[in-house]
């Protein structure tokens, strides 16, 4: 659900860790503990590896000591801001099979994009690259769901304006969910779309900051206690 997933989707990101979205129930956590034991992985920060913390939205971080994964970090989460529950994510997942037969389950592209709407500077260019890559791959014969996704998530003014011009009715309907589409539907200039995109990003960053305030306060209490 992180940088490794972005690589699979064609928006390459150099990543030193592997981020996993999981079900935080007893049986699944037991399986995960077994896998982490094989990786000789230890928790490297707070919180400890407990279901209660995962269910509250914390990430648990591990460092691997196995020679074939030496120093690799694994981050595990069960709940994320603005993202559906795991069962819904799993139903929408994308599965990629490599030439050697290895299969990887990823968050769907829309769900992955939602996890990237954070306070971190590096995440917003990644959203843009992910959606652009999807647009250029499918624009020749898009289906309605893809067009809807692009209008809701594209962060490239020129493409947004082009798409709005050819899908005016849908653009007007979606403007209630994404106000900047009203500008695109009117054929506003790219500078106006750029400003609206910055405002949209700023609002999402503020929401993410607010979401993490109590969680970070809890982490600080745990650090001091330790």
At residue 2, the pLDDT reads 82
Span 191-204, average pLDDT:
97
At residue 197, the pLDDT reads 97
Flag whether pLDDT at 10 surpasses 80: no
* DSSP string of 78-114, one letter each residue: S--TT---HHHHHHT-EEEE-TTS-EEEE--HHHHHH
- Decide: helix, strand or coil at residue 20: strand
Span 162-180, average pLDDT:
95
**Can you tell me the distance from the alpha carbon of 92 to that of 108, in angstroms, rounded to the nearest whole number?**
6
Q: How far is CA 19 from CA 72, 75, 161, 181, 194, in A?
A: 11, 5, 34, 32, 31
Tokens of 77: 């989460």
Note the pLDDT tens digit of each residue in 113-147. Answer: 999 999 999 899 999 999 999 999 999 999 999 99
Q: How confident is the model at residue 13 (pLDDT cuts 50, 70, 90)?
A: low
Percent of the chain with pLDDT over 90: 89
**Can you tell me the distance from the alpha carbon of 54 to that of 33, in angstroms, rounded to the nearest whole number?**
14
Tokens of 212: 């993490």
Flag whether pLDDT at 25 surpasses 90: yes
Flag whether pLDDT at 21 surpasses 90: yes
**Can you tell me the distance from the alpha carbon of 111 to that of 94, in angstroms, rounded to the nearest whole number?**
10
pTM score, two decimals? Answer: 0.90
Flag whether pLDDT at 20 surpasses 90: yes
Tokens of 48: 């400890």
Residue 60: which of 32, 26, 90 has the closest Cα? 32
Span 101-111, average pLDDT:
94
Span 143-172, average pLDDT:
96
**Can you tell me the distance from the alpha carbon of 166 to that of 110, in angstroms, rounded to the nearest whole number?**
22
Flag whether pLDDT at 174 surpasses 90: yes
* DSSP string of 161-210, one letter each residue: HHHHHHSHHHHHHHTTTSTHHHHHHTT--HHHHHHHHHHHHHHHHHHHHH
Residue 69 · residue 39 · CB < 8 Å: yes
Q: How far is CA 134 from CA 76, 90, 138, 218, in A?
A: 26, 20, 6, 38
At residue 135, the pLDDT reads 96
Q: How confident is the model at residue 4 (pLDDT cuts 50, 70, 90)?
A: confident
Flag whether pLDDT at 11 surpasses 90: no
35-48 burial, b if ≥16 CB within 10 A, otherwise e? ebeebebeeeebbe
At residue 1, the pLDDT reads 85
């Amino acid at each position: 659900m992180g940088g490794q997933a972005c690589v699979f989707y064609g928006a390459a990101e150099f990543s030193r860790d592997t981020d996993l979205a999981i079900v935080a129930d007893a049986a699944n956590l037991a399986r995960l503990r077994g896998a982490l034991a094989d990786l000789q992985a230890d928790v490297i920060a707070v919180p400890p590896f407990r279901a209660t913390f995962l269910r509250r939205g914390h990430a648990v971080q591990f460092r691997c000591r196995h020679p074939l994964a030496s120093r690799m970090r694994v981050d595990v989460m069960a709940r994320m801001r603005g993202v559906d529950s795991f069962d819904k994510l799993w139903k929408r997942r994308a599965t990629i099979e490599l030439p050697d037969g290895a299969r990887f389950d990823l968050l769907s592209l829309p769900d992955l994009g939602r996890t990237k709407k954070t306070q971190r500077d590096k995440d917003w260019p990644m959203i843009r690259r992910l959606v652009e890559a999807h647009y250029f791959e499918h624009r020749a014969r898009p289906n309605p769901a893809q067009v809807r996704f692009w209008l809701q998530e594209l962060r490239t003014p020129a493409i947004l304006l082009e798409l709005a011009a050819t899908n005016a009715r849908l653009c007007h309907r979606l403007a209630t969910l994404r106000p900047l589409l009203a500008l695109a539907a009117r054929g506003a200039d790219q500078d106006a779309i750029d400003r609206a995109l910055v405002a949209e990003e700023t609002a999402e960053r503020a929401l993410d900051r607010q979401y993490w305030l109590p969680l970070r306060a809890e982490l600080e209490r745990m650090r001091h206690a330790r």
